[in-house]
Amino acid sequence: MKNLLRVFGSKEVSRHANQVGRHLDELFHLTMDRTVRLAVTGLNQSGKTVFTTTLIHHLLHALEGANLPNFSVASENRLLGTRVMLQPDLDVPAFTYERYMRSLLGNKPTWPVPTDALSEIRLAIRYKPSGILSSRLTSSATLHLDIIDYPGEWLIDLPMLQLSFEAWSEQTLRHCEEEPRRSLSAQWRDHLTRLDPTAQATDETLRESARLYTDFLLACKSSKVGLSFLQPGRFTIPGDLKGAPLLTFCPLPPPGAHGVIPGSLREEMARRFESYQKLVAEGFLKRYFSRFDRQIVLLDLLGALNRGPGAFADMRAALEAILGHFRHGPSNLLNRLFNPRIDRLLFAATKADYVAADQHPNLERLLRRLVARSANDASFQGVEIQTQPLASLRCTRTVMREHQGRRLSFVQGTPRGRERETLLFPGEIPDALPEAEDWDTHRFHFMEFEPRRPPDTEGLAPPHIRLDQALEFLLGDKLR
Average pLDDT over residues 256-281: 91
Average pLDDT over residues 280-288: 89
Helix and strand numbers (H, E) in the chain are 20, 10
Interacting residues of 61 by C-beta distance below 8 A, sequence separation 6+ = 460, 461
pLDDT of residue 31: 42
Average pLDDT over residues 235-239: 91
Lowest-confidence range among 146-155, 269-278, 316-325?
Answer: 316-325
Residue from 393, 449, 402 nearest 426 by CA: 449
Lowest-confidence range among 227-231, 273-277, 286-290, 468-472?
Answer: 286-290
Phi/psi at 172 (nearest 5 deg)? -65, -45
Q: What is the pLDDT of residues 147-178, one digit of tens each?
A: 999 988 888 998 999 999 999 999 999 999 99
Phi-psi bin for 237: left (phi > 0), alpha (psi -120 to 50), beta?
A: beta
Are 47 and 354 in contact by the 8 Å Cβ rule? The answer is no
Average pLDDT over residues 402-417: 87
Judge whether residue 216 has pLDDT over 60: yes
Averaged confidence pLDDT in the chain: 86
Judged by DSSP in three states, 349 sits in strand
Q: What is the CA radius of gyration of the chain?
A: 25
Cα 364 to Cα 259: distance, rounded to the nearest angstrom = 50
In DSSP notation, 39-97 reads: EEEESTT--HHHHHHHHHHHHHTGGGT---TT-HHHHTT-EEEEEEE--S-TTS-B--H
What is the separation, in whole angstroms, between the first and last Cα of the chain?
40
Average pLDDT over residues 351-378: 89
Phi/psi at 419 (nearest 5 deg)? -115, -15
Q: Grade residue 325 by pLDDT with cuts at 50, 70 and 90.
A: low
Q: Which is it for strands 119-127 and 141-149: parallel, antiparallel or unpaired? A: antiparallel
pLDDT of residue 67: 84
Q: Grade residue 407 by pLDDT with cuts at 50, 70 and 90.
A: confident
Q: Grade residue 403 by pLDDT with cuts at 50, 70 and 90.
A: confident
pLDDT of residue 33: 46
Q: Grade residue 331 by pLDDT with cuts at 50, 70 and 90.
A: low
Average pLDDT over residues 323-343: 56
Judge whether residue 135 has pLDDT over 70: no
Average pLDDT over residues 439-457: 81
Q: Grade residue 264 by pLDDT with cuts at 50, 70 and 90.
A: very high
pLDDT of residue 22: 46
Q: Grade residue 57 by pLDDT with cuts at 50, 70 and 90.
A: very high
Q: Grade residue 1 by pLDDT with cuts at 50, 70 and 90.
A: very low
pLDDT of residue 12: 55
Judge whether residue 384 has pLDDT over 90: no
What is the percentage of the chain residues whose pLDDT exceeds 70?
86
CA distances from 189 to 92, 177, 194, 201 (A): 38, 11, 9, 19
Lowest-confidence range among 208-217, 256-265, 451-460?
Answer: 451-460
Average pLDDT over residues 38-57: 93
Determine which helix (DSSP H) or strand (DSSP E) holds 294, and give its type and residue range: strand 294-299
Are 50 and 298 in contact by the 8 Å Cβ rule? The answer is no
Cα 49 to Cα 393: distance, rounded to the nearest angstrom = 11
Judge whether residue 96 has pLDDT over 50: yes
Judge whether residue 322 has pLDDT over 90: no
pLDDT of residue 326: 61
The amino acid sitting at 7 is V
Q: Grade residue 460 by pLDDT with cuts at 50, 70 and 90.
A: low
pLDDT of residue 134: 58
Residue from 395, 358, 311 nearest 110 by CA: 395
Lowest-confidence range among 54-63, 100-109, 247-256?
Answer: 100-109
pLDDT of residue 340: 54
